[in-house]
Structure formats: structure tokens, C-alpha cells
Amino acid sequence: MAAPSLRTRLRTLFPRSDGRGSEEPDTGRNGLALSLSFLVALVLWFTFSMQETYTTTIEVPLEIAALPDDQALRQRPPQTARVSVQGQGEALLSLTWSPPRVRLFADGPTVDVAASVSESGLPAGVTVLGAQPRSIRLDLDERVTRDLPIRLRGSVRAAAPFDLLNTPQLTPDTVRITGSRALLESFQSWPTAPFVRNDVRNDLSTPLALSDTLAGLVERSITTTVLTATVGEFTRGEITLDVEVENLPPGIETVRFEPKRVAVEYRVPVGAAYAQVERAGLRAVVDYADIARDSTSGSVRVGIRVPENIDVRDERASPSRVEYFLVRRAPSPEDE
């Protein structure tokens, strides 16, 4: 069977009537015909509309591309500008959906925004009518470079009975910063991004970003550092020590304490360090200057002296205060 001709298809889609109503209307086919007609009309309208000339306003992002070599920004300029443009509808539609990033090249303290937008590679036929702001006055200052130590902005804490064996380290621990003199002169260090880690049980090594809150105003030689921390398990111990006095003045032979001995509790890393406490030379000491300042109670606080070569922490004497009795030196014959 031969395929139906185009004329036959059109007659089927758009049936004719003999004027007497003998042809029953096909509402489904009439609805499809109306939909196709409306779609074709819409496409034609849109196509011809896009060839017309229009005026519209778009918002474009701004970035400073270059400054004089010896100058830097003291504060950020506006991040965007509203630009009035004129051109064919098709070109303006693409600009509305995807506005160009406008790079501002500053030869001095003022930059022309409208001119920079015109030079940013707009579609052919698009004209810049104006910008708000039309120009930007840059807050410029002398450009300087400083080397600053990096400071951890946060904390690292171990889970009991563990503890950090040393202060967390940053590698590298310095960063070179370039920017405005007025902006950088108040900085003594450069912070990392916020970082908090609790309940640490193992050695820690993790990259850590530097703070970028002044992005666009300063240049950093590095953007990340590595945070490391060594963790060890600790245990508690106790030792009994005689109370000693130091810095005795002339005329005082000695000082007697009651009680004469105190129990010292402490924390220390497990292993060899624990065994070293007995022979490390811990001392329970009262400074005579504290006795001289005491005028009423008759008791002084006991301090614990820990040698530098051993890691003893949270040391505490019990009792923490002792009573004292001065033993004065007998006068010599020369003094009589």
C-alpha cells in the first residue's frame, strides 16, 4: 500500500466541513493544531524579538588585576558594579545569564569602571551606556613585605589518660606577607584557619590552611602548613619529700616545719620516665621570702621544684601549706 501523501495528511489533521455540519469536529486534532500553531508563533516572535535593540542593566563582578608595583590596597574596593548596556536582545540575554568578570587595571588611585567593562570582551554590538559606580577611587598605601610566625588558631587536646608530650608544631612556622604598610604593621603573627581537635589518642599530623580573611588585600608566600603533635599515655604517681627552705637571710639558722614531710602527687609519661622520678631530684621548697611576707597565719605554701630533664606534670603537695618555726642563730662573741 502506498504511503499517504502530504496533502492527505494535512486533510486528516485539518478536516474540512461541507457547510451543513456533516463533518463531525475532532477536538483532539483541533487541540494539537492549535498547540503547534501557538508554538510556531512563539518561536517566530522570540526569534524576531531577539533581533531588536534593547537597553538593560546587568550586575558584573569586579576584580583588581594590577596595581602600581610599589603600592597595595588598604581596603577592598566594591565587589560589583551595575552597568547599563544597549544591544540586540540575543546578546543582552547571554550577558544577563553569564555576566563577564571585569578586571580593573589601575595605573593610579582611580580606575574607570565603564571603560574597563567596555574592554572586557563584550559581545559584538553591545554598547556600555554607563556604570554605577562609574569610577572607583582606590585606597592605596605603600607596599611592604614582612615575615610573620604562624599562630595556631585553635587547640589540640588529648583524651585521658593521654596527653600531649610537647606543644603542637607548625611546619613551616613562618609565612611571608605582602600588602599595605598600614594594614600589616599591627600584625605580630598570622593565624591559621580555625582548628579544634579533642580526645586525641595518637600522634597527629594534618595539613592546615592559613587564614584568608584578607584575601585580595595581602599576598601569602604559602597557603597551608602542617600541624603535628606527639601524644603519650600518662600515669599517676606519689612521692614523699622533706620540706626545705631556701634564701635564708643572715641571723636565721634554720626553719623547722610542721609537718616536716609532704606527699607529692604527680602525672608522668608511662615507661622509663616514671622510674626516673625517684632519682630526678624533686624538691618540696618554701621560699623564706614567703615567710617574711606572712604576718598572721603562721603557715606558708609549699612549692615543688621539678628538674628540667624530666616531664612531671600537675604536681601537688599534700598538705599544700605547712606551719613554720624560726630558729635564730646564737650571737657570736664578736657581736657582744
Rounded Cα distance between 138 and 72, Å, is 9
For residue 50, what are the CA distances in angstroms to 54, 84, 85, 128, 295? 9, 18, 15, 19, 97
pLDDT (tens digit per residue) in 190-227:
999 999 999 999 999 999 999 998 888 899 999 999 99
Q: Say if CB 127 and CB 53 are below 8 A apart.
A: no
If you search the block for the grid coordinates 567596555, which residue do you land on? Answer: 118
What is the C-alpha radius of gyration for the chain, rounded to an integer number of angstroms?
42
Domain 142-229 matches domain 234-328 at the CATH topology level: yes
The topology (CATH level 3) of 234-328 is RNA Polymerase Alpha Subunit; Chain A, domain 2 (2.170.120)
Query: Does pLDDT of 43 surpass 60?
Result: no
Question: The domain 142-229: what is its CATH number?
Answer: 2.170.120.40
Give CA–CA dist 234/228, Å, rounded.
Answer: 19
Q: Which of 62-66, 183-187, 324-328 has the lowest mean pLDDT?
A: 62-66
Decide if pLDDT at 249 tops 50.
yes
CATH class of 53-138: mainly beta
Higher pLDDT residue, 39 or 60? Answer: 60
Which three three-digit cell numbers place residue 79? Answer: 565587589
Q: How far apart are CA 18 and CA 214, in angstroms?
A: 82
Structural contact between residues 172 and 221, judged by C-beta atoms closer than 8 angstroms: no
Among 5-19, 58-72, 309-323, the minimum mean pLDDT is found in 5-19
Q: What's the pLDDT score for residue 318?
A: 95
Q: What is the rounded CA–CA span in Å between residue 214 and residue 135? A: 23
Under 8 Å between Cβ of 124 and 106: no
Separation in Å, CA 151 to CA 157, 228, 318: 17, 13, 38
Pairwise CA distance, residues 280 & 266, whole Å = 13
Q: Give the span between the Cα atoms of 243 and 292, in whole angstroms.
A: 17
End-to-end CA distance of the chain: 151
Per-chain mean pLDDT for the chain: 82
Segments making up each domain of the chain, as ranges: 53-138, 142-229, 234-328
Please, which pLDDT band fits residue 19 given cuts at 50, 70 and 90? low
* Angle, in degrees to the nearest 10, between helices 6-13 and 27-49: 110
pTM of the shown model: 0.66
The mean per-residue pLDDT over the stretch 290-304 comes to 89
Assess contact for 132 and 82: CB atoms under 8 A: yes
CA 262 to CA 316: how far, in whole Å?
A: 10
